[in-house]
């Protein structure tokens, strides 16, 4: 194994038009035009868009069925097995952690902009720019692809810090499930390269999809790639076996993983098995201690505190907000009912802090009524189309007339439409991509939701038949239904879905859809960590209550200055007081 003995050497500010060897020269944009920026700022992903729901479901299914065939981790055994070392000029180190970032431009760039500033003053704490940046997974949405990475991730981060400042910060990245949708191809091309090793102003520091970094004070940062929760491959275990040779009883470990399986294990006891196996077989024999587990995947900040370890979720880098009000107040890790043999000793962890707080999270949930139809116009259109067909089928049955041959060709039997409504609602309550078991509450809520739509269709049919439009000669009734009835019933049925999501969310069902359907850009978060030369580690959980939505060109033309500035204030604060580990 090779050793990267430190962060990039200091370098003078390159003048405009000059660049550091191996780094592309970056011309500053003269406008906000995508041609000038070099990428296209994207709107947030409309997660309930019909085609996106279908394509995401297909990608998830393919990843489940063929993930082993697309797994490139075994091939990485031929790549360099670098163990990096990161130490700042004063013998300590500032390190940032951000995850779930590659979504809409406003939220992603707001966080990237804060990460790139020379200093942040947060609730009286002066926090200098980090010398190391860790991206914790899901660097792009909705699925991996080079263009998506450029527009939703790399482009905004280059705009935030176009070229490297003198301290030459380094970037390490953990792949999440969305990074895995193409078998990790785009991720490896961007973050694991043998040349042109930079990501905006950050140099890329890893040689595989996983990494190990020696930090000051005998701290170690280990980033795992568990291929969307499946298993740890043999080359990866061999790599960390070599890392373990450098650990000792005084070593302390920060473990960055793709998902907070300590929380997910509450409903899926086997979810934590891979991490437990890694800690039990790689770390524990050395006498080292895992003091901090960090993850993204759930788009909020939450910290569980135990007797000797902190479990932190911080997925607030740009993707839609995920709720905190249904988080368990206490978890047991590893869970006692895991099937893993010789599991580690179970310990209790209490929810010590979260952002947003539970009360604010509940208030966000009520926003579904206003946000659902307008953030997801395709979903509203789909609802209107289905309800229009259901109404026409009911109207034809109620009128008890077969109609003309052309009318019969364009009509759908009532029993089929009712079946589509009921089955669609039942599957919506527990999408196949959600994983886990389907419980009784899913069936009750799903079928109840479907019956509500059938009842709405019956009411709509009664109202429609009371109008003279249905008596017009064919095909005018169908045209009128599409033009008049469809948009109205689409909005009304979207409110039925919104009410269902709010009710189901109180039972822990469709929580993801309740918040994904809103696409909330605000309430973002990231971590800034400081390791002192003597080995104390302090975590500053930084919250951004409101992201910027308006940008202007930065009049500062120095190469390292961010291209765009927020027109309004972008004010970070602490999500909770700093946490110090020794």
At 131-163, the pLDDT tens digits run 999 999 888 888 777 888 899 999 999 999 999
Residue 204 contacts residue 246 (beta carbons within 8 Å): no
Say whether pLDDT at 260 is over 70: yes
At 432-445, the pLDDT tens digits run 555 556 678 888 89
At 204-217, the pLDDT tens digits run 888 888 999 999 99
The listed range with the strongest mean pLDDT (75-89, 288-302, 435-449) is 288-302
pLDDT, residue 8, reads 35
Alpha helix positions (H), 400-520: 405-409, 414-429, 440-465, 476-480, 486-506, 511-516
Q: Given pLDDT bands bounded at 50, 70 and 90, which one contains residue 363?
A: very high
Cβ-proximal residues to 577 (8 Å cutoff; 6+ apart), any chain: none
Say whether pLDDT at 7 is over 50: no
């893993």: which residue's tokens?
340
pLDDT, residue 182, reads 76
Say whether pLDDT at 372 is over 90: yes
**Token pair of 112, please?**
């990237």
Say whether pLDDT at 11 is over 90: no
Closest CA to 180 of 53, 335, 68, 317: 68
Q: Given pLDDT bands bounded at 50, 70 and 90, which one contains residue 407?
A: very low
Question: What is the maximal distance between C-alpha atoms in the chain?
Answer: 86
Residues of the chain with pLDDT > 90, as a percent, come to 50
pLDDT, residue 273, reads 87
Residue 355 contacts residue 541 (beta carbons within 8 Å): yes
At 303-336, the pLDDT tens digits run 999 989 999 999 999 999 999 999 999 999 888 8
pLDDT, residue 242, reads 92
pLDDT, residue 10, reads 32
pLDDT, residue 179, reads 78
Residues of the chain with pLDDT > 70, as a percent, come to 85
**Other beta carbons within 10 Å of 430:** 20
Residue 412 contacts residue 393 (beta carbons within 8 Å): yes
Say whether pLDDT at 23 is over 50: no
pLDDT, residue 26, reads 67
Cβ-proximal residues to 232 (8 Å cutoff; 6+ apart), any chain: 224, 226, 274, 277, 278
């997974």: which residue's tokens?
137
Please report, for residues 43, 191, 219, the alpha-carbon distance to residue 199 in angstroms, rounded to integers and kept in the order given.
22, 8, 25
pLDDT, residue 331, reads 94
Q: What is the CATH number of domain 54-356+523-581?
A: 3.60.21.10
Task: Give me the chain's average pLDDT, please.
Answer: 85
| Domain residue ranges of the chain, discontinuous segments joined by + | 54-356+523-581, 367-517
Residue 309 contacts residue 278 (beta carbons within 8 Å): no
Quote the CA–CA distance of 34 and 13 in Å, as a whole number: 26
């Amino acid at each position: 194994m090779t050793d990267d003995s430190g962060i990039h050497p200091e370098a003078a500010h390159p003048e405009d038009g000059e660049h550091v060897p191996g780094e592309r020269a970056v011309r500053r944009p003269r406008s906000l035009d995508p041609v000038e920026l070099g990428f296209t700022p994207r709107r947030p992903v409309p997660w309930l868009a019909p085609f996106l729901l279908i394509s995401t479901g297909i990608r998830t299914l393919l990843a489940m069925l063929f993930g082993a065939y697309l797994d490139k981790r075994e091939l990485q055994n031929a790549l360099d097995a670098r163990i990096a070392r990161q130490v700042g000029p004063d013998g300590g180190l500032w390190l940032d952690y951000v995850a779930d970032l590659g979504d809409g431009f406003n939220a992603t760039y707001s966080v990237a902009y804060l990460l790139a500033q020379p200093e942040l003053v947060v609730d009286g704490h002066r926090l200098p720019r980090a010398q190391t940046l860790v991206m914790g997974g899901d660097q792009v949405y909705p699925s991996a692809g080079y263009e998506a990475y450029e527009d939703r991730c790399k482009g905004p981060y280059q705009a935030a810090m176009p070229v490297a400042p003198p301290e030459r910060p380094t970037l390490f990245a953990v792949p999440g499930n969305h990074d895995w949708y193409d078998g990790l191809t785009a991720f490896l091309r961007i973050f694991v390269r043998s040349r042109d090793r930079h990501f905006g102003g950050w140099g890329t520091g890893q040689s595989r999809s996983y990494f190990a970094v020696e930090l000051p004070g005998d701290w170690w940062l280990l980033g795992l790639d568990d291929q969307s929760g499946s298993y740890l491959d043999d080359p990866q275990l061999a790599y960390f076996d070599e890392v373990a040779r450098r650990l000792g009883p005084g070593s302390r470990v920060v473990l960055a993983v793709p998902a907070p399986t300590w929380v997910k294990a509450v409903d899926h006891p086997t979810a934590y098995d891979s991490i437990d196996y890694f800690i039990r077989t790689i770390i524990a024999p050395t006498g080292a201690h895992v003091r901090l587990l960090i993850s993204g995947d759930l788009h909020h900040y939450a910290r569980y505190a135990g007797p000797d370890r902190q479990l932190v979720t911080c997925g607030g880098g740009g993707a839609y907000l995920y709720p905190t009000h249904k988080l368990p107040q206490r978890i047991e890790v590893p869970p006692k009912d895991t099937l893993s043999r010789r599991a580690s000793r179970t310990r209790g962890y209490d929810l010590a802090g979260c952002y947003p707080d539970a009360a604010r999270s509940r208030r966000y949930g009520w926003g579904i009524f206003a946000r659902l139809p307008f953030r997801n116009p395709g979903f509203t259109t789909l609802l209107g189309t289905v309800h229009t067909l259901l109404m026409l089928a009911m109207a034809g049955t109620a009128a008890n007339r077969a109609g003309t041959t052309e009318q019969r060709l364009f009509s759908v039997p009532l029993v089929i439409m009712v079946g589509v409504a009921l089955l669609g609602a039942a599957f919506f309550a527990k999408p196949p991509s959600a994983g886990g078991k389907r419980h009784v509450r899913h069936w009750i809520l799903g079928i109840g939701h479907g019956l509500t739509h059938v009842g709405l269709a019956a009411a709509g049919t009664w109202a429609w038949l009371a109008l003279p439009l249905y008596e017009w000669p064919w095909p005018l009734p169908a045209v009128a239904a599409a033009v008049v009835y469809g948009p109205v019933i689409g909005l009304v049925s979207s409110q039925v879905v919104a009410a269902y999501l709010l009710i189901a969310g109180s039972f822990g069902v469709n929580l993801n859809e309740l918040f994904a359907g809103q696409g909330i850009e605000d309430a973002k978060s990231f971590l800034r960590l400081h390791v002192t030369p003597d080995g104390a580690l302090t975590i500053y959980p930084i919250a951004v209550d409101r992201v910027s939505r308006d940008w202007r060109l930065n009049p500062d033309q120095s190469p390292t200055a961010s291209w765009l500035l927020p027109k309004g204030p972008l004010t970070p604060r602490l999500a909770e007081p700093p946490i110090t580990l020794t």
